Structure 1
């Protein structure tokens, strides 16, 4: 891959090196012909050692951003660095799987990786077999190394693609929709693999439209909407932007609402057979005791913690395409 350049002639990928960040973008923008803006002045800061979820509905600009980062397409404006380095200097230290794996169906997993490695001008041929064996072992495919690719499950195919991205030492791994199209078992396999890779010290940047997966897998996240960044931070800080609520299921809705108000809970709301309120610093067990003590029939009491989908809806007023 070659370094990308601005239309005016100044180099991209020229953000100042940083030992703390695996990815930095500043004002990264991509306009296509006809004036369509796919990515609009994107500022990202991905800490080293994080599992970073890059979230957004389909069509929000995630894959376009990744393709710019890897030098596959040229940005229109802005600058960026990977591992504190401009392209192409950073690329030998970066592994990536973009837009799904593509391998020869009649070759084994091991043979596919041999061909993949041979196409890399920076790889050392003398160590190819050991590196491939290590990569297959790392993704849990050693036992299936001689099995033809066409007989791999979807989860195994995705793990083989990740193995291809790990044939050399990688400080950063970029995965574009790694669980897309997988069944629950394949999704669990990839999720566990991502966590294992991150535990070894590699920063993992995961693009996804599946909010629940990102919440289980990632330490940090950014949320995109129509090419723009709407939120970025740790998972805890993003979820913490919305209040935790308590929900009481009861036939005595009016009495329950009155008790919650007396206890000092804010934003008490009634609907159907439920009453909800902001939990604040109140202990759920004390709320339950107060309700029962006041003669309220409590059928159920639950603490509702905000999700990333709640954050997205709160920021944009729109639903999130969680099913793709």
Structure 2
């Protein structure tokens, strides 16, 4: 067991080896003027997870990451990464991409990575060539190793940035908005790369405000809103917070709405040519039979399960960007 010291100087028992990758308890950051960026954050990131840290811009995601990595001192509260007593002790096992690293435009991708590697005091200079080659191959840039950085596409630049985090063995990757500003192709490249890295056993903590991307690559979710964690769990657990709806296509929408009400469904919304309602525990085939018994023409019936966006609107009352 190890201990970590919180901002007030109190000892906190950290996770044993094999425990959570990240743990925070009451983590808080208050800036001058009283602005609270992060407000008593209690977060647990399981090892081996692809954890999506979601929230609108300004919700406290980047400030949280900076506190986890020791770049910003918390006002109060505690945090632990990989069970280490301090961020410094864990950093050799952590790869981090925060707001994008700076690369030399006239150097090749391989030459840039060599300079990143030289800044790591724990790196063995005798094996730099092999490690750079392996990192480039892992992100699909082996063929562009000698190409100048200025000629890289946005997707290639993001992949190179992730390669810089993979120059040594990493138990945890922390990626802050890794698809920010990318076109759909670049976004797909980075998303697939994150999946591949996670498949090798590395825990990935990815901050984003793009719901569609997180839904496709993450196993666990934490949602920030105005500095507070408002939801946390697996995708399945969060989706269960919202019930599915049934949508009926019918020319008799007003009659269908009355029939659905009589059947016991709630939150009924009639519209021209259709009516929808919360399905609850009702079986869709029984709903169909009830409508037919009432002589209502049913042109189509669909059970609509809540999207991640629906869940977050339900939980927080806020909207998020849903497209890359």
- TM-score, scaled to structure 2: 0.92
Aligned length: 319
Change (3 A) 1:205 1:190: same
Q: Which residue of 1 aligns with 2:14?
A: 16
Question: Bigger CA drift: 302-311 or 74-83?
Answer: 302-311
Shift of 1:290: 5.1
CA–CA separation in structure 2 for the residues paired with 1:309 and 1:250: 27
Change (3 A) 1:225 1:45: same
Q: Which residue of 2 aligns with 1:29?
A: 28
Q: Which residue of 2 aligns with 1:210?
A: 210
Change (3 A) 1:7 1:205: closer
SS in 1 for 2:255: helix
Q: Is the 8 A contact 1:248 1:300 kept in 2?
A: yes
Q: Which residue of 2 aligns with 1:82?
A: 81
CA–CA separation in structure 1 for the residues paired with 2:53 and 2:108: 32
Q: Is the 8 A contact 1:6 1:74 kept in 2?
A: no
Shift of 1:101: 3.1
CA deviations 1:129-181 (Å, max 9, x no partner) are 11111111111111111111111111111010000001000000000001111
Q: Is the 8 A contact 1:80 1:86 kept in 2?
A: no
Question: Bigger CA drift: 57-66 or 306-315?
Answer: 306-315
Q: Which residue of 2 aligns with 1:196?
A: 196
- TM-score, scaled to structure 1: 0.92
SS in 2 for 1:89: helix
Shift of 1:64: 0.4
CA–CA separation in structure 2 for the residues paired with 1:253 and 1:192: 44
- The aligned runs of 1:131-280 (5 Å cut-off) are 131-280=131-280
Shift of 1:260: 2.9
Q: Which residue of 1 aligns with 2:119?
A: 119
SS in 1 for 2:66: helix
SS in 2 for 1:34: helix
Q: Which runs of 5+ in 2 are unaligned?
A: none
TM-align CA RMSD: 2.1
Q: Is the 8 A contact 1:223 1:230 kept in 2?
A: yes
Shift of 1:192: 0.7
CA–CA separation in structure 2 for the residues paired with 1:271 and 1:86: 58
| Corresponding position: 1:57 with 2:56 | yes
SS in 2 for 1:90: helix
CA–CA separation in structure 1 for the residues paired with 2:173 and 2:317: 32
